[in-house]
Amino acid sequence: MAKDKIQAIKGMADMLPTDTPYWDKFTEAATEAARDYGYMQIRTPILEQTRLFKRGIGEVTDIVEKEMYSFVDSLNGDELTMRPENTASVVRACIEHNLLYDAPKRLWYMGPMFRHERPQRGRFRQFHQFGLEALGFKGPDVDAEQLLLVNRIWKKLGIKHVWLELNCLGQLDERKLYREALIKYFEANKEILDEEAQRRLYSNPLRILDTKNPDMQELVENAPKLIDYLGEESKAFLNRLEEILTAEGIQYKINTRLVRGLDYYNLTVFEWVTDKLGAQSTICGGGRYDPLIGILGGKETPACGFAMGIERIIDLMKEEGVSPAYKECSVYLAWSGSDTYLYSLNIAEKLRDRKVSTILHSGSSKFANQMKRADAAGAEYAVIIGESEVQDNTVTIKPLREHLEDYGTQLKLPVEEALNYLAEHNK
Ligand code: ATP
Ligand code: MG
């Protein structure tokens, strides 16, 4: 009897070898950029106590209200949650290890996050984020630094269809005044509010501005604007940030409706958006969160950060045609004939010693088939070994790609020379 097949959990995607070159390209660009600006990596556990996220993200947020993978550990009764984002954990770790005692810290992280959402394009239940946190900086210089860093990642990846939207949330007292005005405005238009907005009217009215409901767009377009409620200091903060961005040629749009999902943001909030991915158009979001470290029990410390969704970025790379080459190896070693295997294996090992990635063909098949495999593997060179090569202690080298300067030639070289040649051409 055939056994039924076990499938992956809904919304949790496999990343297949055809996709990993995109993943590698992203990782390289992002970690290089982080290094260029002096950010160091931090890794925190996937599981944390549920109350960390409840406190650190806020009870009246999409994430805490309905998206968390929370459970009780049946072995000891602990209430645990699989991290839906990484900022709260990073802050927890910094407080726990007293990382901020001597100097501010620039940190980056990358890894899987978990949210119980309806799976669709750009929205998964396990997805991956790359993000930065700068803790102990008042800004706005560091807010700008992070935006320059993000822009550098887009450049490294060759992504063009993306723009920056910026807003200033001011401080809590400014938001309080605005909140009251907003509640009044929405109360006067109660019949247009959908169920979610009605529920949030008094608990988190700013989030109503973020609605994706088309029937409410006009209403939120005409709502009072937070920017009109900012005091002088907040305005000056935003102006300085704009000055720095302009000086460095970073284009942006002020979006007065941008409030972001998490409670703890103040002053700067931003999103990088694209028009190439349909509904899930935000590929990076972040801002300043000066209150958070205090909320989580540390000493009040200003901080800012962002997170980008790697799946959405990879989708965008595909949309924009910035495809990394599929490449299993640099050299595919094709061999045939009696007593040629050990000779070939020895050559393959010597190539690997020289850091030339090499696949040694496995199994016996015709040279023609082996050459097809070499092509499919994305190899730059085929090394061909038959009985004659073994006899005169040589190898034959065949360049496979048109972009190679030696394309169209075929060389038969003594072993040592051949190894040097390949090492030289695979730098
Ligand atoms: P959205 O409004 O799309 O739900 P969000 O405000 O919940 O986004 P953040 O918490 O700011 O998102 O996370 C930062 C980034 O992580 C997003 O801009 C997006 O690129 C990515 N992201 C968030 N949720 C998901 C998900 N479920 N699947 C894939 N990527 C996601
Ligand atoms: Mg969300």
Q: Does residue 200 have its Cβ closer than 6 Å to ligand 1?
A: no
In this structure, the answer to whether residues 114 and 239 fall within a common structural domain is yes
Distance 62 CA to ligand 2 centre (A): 6
Among the atoms of ligand 1, which is closest to the Cα of residue 312? 20
Domain boundary among 319, 343, 375: 319
Q: Does residue 261 have its Cβ closer than 6 Å to ligand 1?
A: yes
Cis before 205? omega within 30: no
Please state the length of the chain. Answer: 427
**How far is residue 217 CA from its own chain's centroid?**
29
Neighbouring CB atoms inside 10 A of 265's CB total 24
CA pair distance 359, 356, nearest whole angstrom: 10
pLDDT for 62? 85
**Helices 20-36, 141-157: crossing angle, 10 deg rounding:** 150
Instruction: Find the domain containing 58 and state its range.
Output: 17-170+230-319
- Number of domains comprising the chain: 2
Compute the mean pLDDT over every residue in the chain, rounded to the nearest whole number: 94
pLDDT for 364? 83
In this structure, the answer to whether residues 398 and 420 fall within a common structural domain is yes
Distances (CA, A) of 323 to 22, 242, 277, 280: 7, 33, 16, 21
106-120 b/e (C-beta count within 10 Å ≥ 16 → b)? bbbbbeebbbebeee
Residue 363 near residue 336 (C-beta atoms within 8 A): no
* Domain-embedded: residue 215: no
In this structure, the answer to whether residues 78 and 157 fall within a common structural domain is yes
In this structure, the answer to whether residues 163 and 273 fall within a common structural domain is yes
Q: How far apart are the first and last CA of the chain?
A: 53
pLDDT for 263? 65
Residue 81 identity: T
CA pair distance 206, 203, nearest whole angstrom: 9
Q: Which CATH number do you get for residue 373?
A: 3.40.50.800
Q: Which CATH number do you get for residue 84?
A: 3.30.930.10
Q: Which of 145, 50, 25, 128 is nearest to 85 (CA)?
A: 128
In this structure, the answer to whether residues 278 and 412 fall within a common structural domain is no
In this structure, the answer to whether residues 314 and 387 fall within a common structural domain is no
In this structure, the answer to whether residues 301 and 360 fall within a common structural domain is no
CA pair distance 400, 406, nearest whole angstrom: 9
Q: Does residue 129 have its Cβ closer than 6 Å to ligand 1?
A: yes
* Domain-embedded: residue 243: yes
Residues 244-285 have pLDDT tens digits of 999 999 999 999 888 876 667 899 999 999 999 988 899 999
Q: In a mutational test of the pocket of ligand 1, which residue from 53, 82, 127, 259 has the highest number of ligand atoms less than 8 Å from its CB?
A: 127
In this structure, the answer to whether residues 255 and 383 fall within a common structural domain is no
pLDDT for 169? 93
In this structure, the answer to whether residues 343 and 301 fall within a common structural domain is no
Tokens of 351: 């190539």
pLDDT for 1? 65
CA pair distance 331, 327, nearest whole angstrom: 10
Distance 312 CA to ligand 1 centre (A): 9
Domain boundary among 319, 350, 370: 319
10-residue mean pLDDT series, the chain (427 residues):
89 94 96 98 98 91 92 97 97 96 94 97 97 96 98 97 96 89 92 89 86 89 91 96 97 90 84 93 96 94 97 96 92 94 97 97 93 96 96 96 92 96 90
- Is the pTM for the entire model greater than 0.85? yes
* Domain-embedded: residue 199: no
What does R_g of the chain's alpha carbons equal in angstroms?
27
In this structure, the answer to whether residues 402 and 288 fall within a common structural domain is no
In this structure, the answer to whether residues 353 and 391 fall within a common structural domain is yes
